[in-house]
Amino acid sequence: MVDEKGLRILEIDPWLEPYKGDLEMRMSRYEGVKKELLGENKSFKDFANGHDYFGFHRTNTGWFYREWAPAADALFLIGDFNDWDRTTHEMTKKENGIWEIFIPGKGTLKHQSRVKVHVVHDGQGKDRVPLYVTRAVQDPETYDFCGQIWKPYRNYKWQDAGFQGDKSKEPIIYEAHIGMAQEKEAIGTYKEFEENILPRIKELGYNTIQFMALMEHPYYGSFGYHVSNFFAASSRFGTPDELKSLVDKAHDMGIRVLMDIVQSHAVKNIYEGINEFDGTDYQFFHSGEKGTHSAWDSKLFNYGKREVIHFLLSNVKYWMEEYHLDGFRFDGVTSMLYHDHGLGTAFDNYAKYFSLNTDVEAVTYLQFANELIKEIKPEALSVAEDMSGMPGMCLPIEDGGIGFDYRLSMGMPDYWFKMLKVNDHDWSMQTLWKELSAGRPGEKRIGYVESHDQALVGDKTLIFSMADKEMYWHMDKESQNMAIDRAVALHKMIRFITISMGTEGYLTFMGNEFGHPEWVDFPREGNGWSYKYCRRQWSISDNPLLRYEDLKHFDGAMVQFMDRKGMMGVAPEQLWLDENRKIIAFRKKDHIFIFNFHPTESYANLEIPIHRDGKYKVVLDTDEEKFGGFNRIAHDIKYEVHPLDMDPNVKGISVYSPSRTAIVLKKL
């Protein structure tokens, strides 16, 4: 029965009953702070409009520029329009720490004018990048960042009216980084991604793109996670209009676009970012040690402060409305949820989620953010990067949840990489089933084998972990090598069982779908500022002589099969697990999936209980020659259900199952 407070979460997960008081407190706080912020009738969509007031806004007679800097003593607008004079354009202080200046003349601030604001606090002045600036550019000689007015003669004309994406389809996500998406040893652009990479994503069949590093960040090697300018799209990849064109084109192809939004922390840099903007360390962040993430060397937001909530919610709304985004993957949610940021904490019992270590202000903020996203675009998606497994993360707020649509199943890649350190003969099918099927009751997950994390410098991709140096010499199709054969077979099987059994959604990092060799390493002093490992070698996946092409073909076939047949989000029905023979078989709809993980044994008449009459035929298998296999499985045989030799009272099928293969049979 649903709790009197409306906490359906207790019905969904009865193990939460001892923490009913904590959940009620969470919801009472949500309701109380929401009322305090919005009053009786206002919505978050009405509230989150900081970008429409602060920053630069052109009128018929000139320009308004406003900032929030409560502890500042004086502010002066400077830029190329006034020869960077720190005295001529003093701003006026209004109520609530707001500063304002009106500059007469529509042409005073021209398109691409460079601007900063000189902020004085306790007699000390610093030139700062405006908080709400929508474009920040870096001087190629001094490396200094400053704001840039972006007001072209014609506004970008969108062509995606009415685009919603296919709401009936679970997300199959292609995680991508604009800068390293090209084959050249240089930074790629929005335009190059639109022209060169979007067609590849469409051809493979992915229905969602997740972009990393779109928010401006001063250090390229941070992978975009040390954000400096929260309302500015990274200028190193091109212009705002070029990013809009990229999103527009993706929508034209029927592909949703998500963004990694970083609101868990901010770069500590003072001159590029928002840290100490008004001269204090507590304007946006917690003061002192509490405001610094020791492991990330970054600043931590104070989610209990009204102005911070306003800034961050406005940030969510801005990206959705300005760039027509279809949702977000929220970075670092675990860090937000706990005062110790989850560092070194083993979340092995429910008490770890409901303690004084839990940052209830962050919980409330995430509820607000998810409510705002749905107000703006009901079909939008929000994904939580949370390794702690916080209960209710992906349940509706009205049920007592935090409101995300999906959580990343961050334990899955950890599991697969641990498995690679175990002898193939010792792989546990029971453990594999448990790891891939385990999840919070009623919540949806995004499963994945490897994201960008597993490819960063100091680590290896899945296939490189299996084949290592052999990839340099034996990835041509004519070469025979046992390590490569194993790696290619398991690369396909591991991905296929993860997408077909593990979760409601799926993700891969660009290039990993075809077994991109080596690692990701951004240009830095330690590698001579080289871009050699900060790119994607698409040509090897297009080369008909190399096995990368086979892996690419399988990935496309796998993704399209799962999407076309509506298999995503369908719970698997376990049919057979065999530890000794390393077999896992399950049913989804009218399809039977059979995985043989045994490294050496093939089974001529593998019996699988079906418990239903009918005939079946192979429709997909990992051993097809076009997928780099040995073509051992026939597709023209009809397998008829019959009494099994192992138990005549059980009906099933007998199939040929070669070692290290997966097959799918469809009921005719």
Q: Any idea which residues carry the catalytic annotation?
A: 331, 385
Contact between 296 and 328 (Cβ < 8 Å): no
Q: Helix 306-323 and helix 20-38: axis angle, to 10°?
A: 80
Q: Helix 360-376 and helix 20-38: axis angle, to 10°?
A: 60
Q: Longest C-alpha distance within the chain, in Å? A: 94
Select from 279, 262, 164, 282 the least CA-distant residue to 211: 262
What CA–CA distance (Å, rounded) separates 90 from 469? 63
Measuring CA to CA, how many Å separate 399 from each of 23, 24, 37, 393, 630? 10, 11, 22, 11, 51
Region of residue 455 (left: phi > 0; alpha: psi -120 to 50; beta: else): alpha
What CA–CA distance (Å, rounded) separates 493 from 413? 14
Q: Residue 136: beta bridge partners?
A: 147
Range list of β-strands (E), 157-199: 172-177
Provide Rg for the chain, Cα atoms. Answer: 27
Helices within 253-359 (DSSP H only)? 306-323, 333-337
User: Element (H or E) spanning 259, and its range?
Assistant: strand 256-261
Measuring CA to CA, how many Å separate 284 from each of 68, 127, 266, 487? 11, 18, 10, 48
Helices within 49-169 (DSSP H only)? 50-53
Select from 189, 191, 316 the least CA-distant residue to 259: 316
What one-character DSSP code corresponds to residue 505? E
What CA–CA distance (Å, rounded) separates 500 from 484? 24
Backbone angles phi, psi at 496, to 5 degrees: -70, -40
In the numeric block, which tokens belong to residue 387? 């390794």
Q: Residue 448: beta bridge partners?
A: 507
Backbone angles phi, psi at 419, to 5 degrees: -60, -35
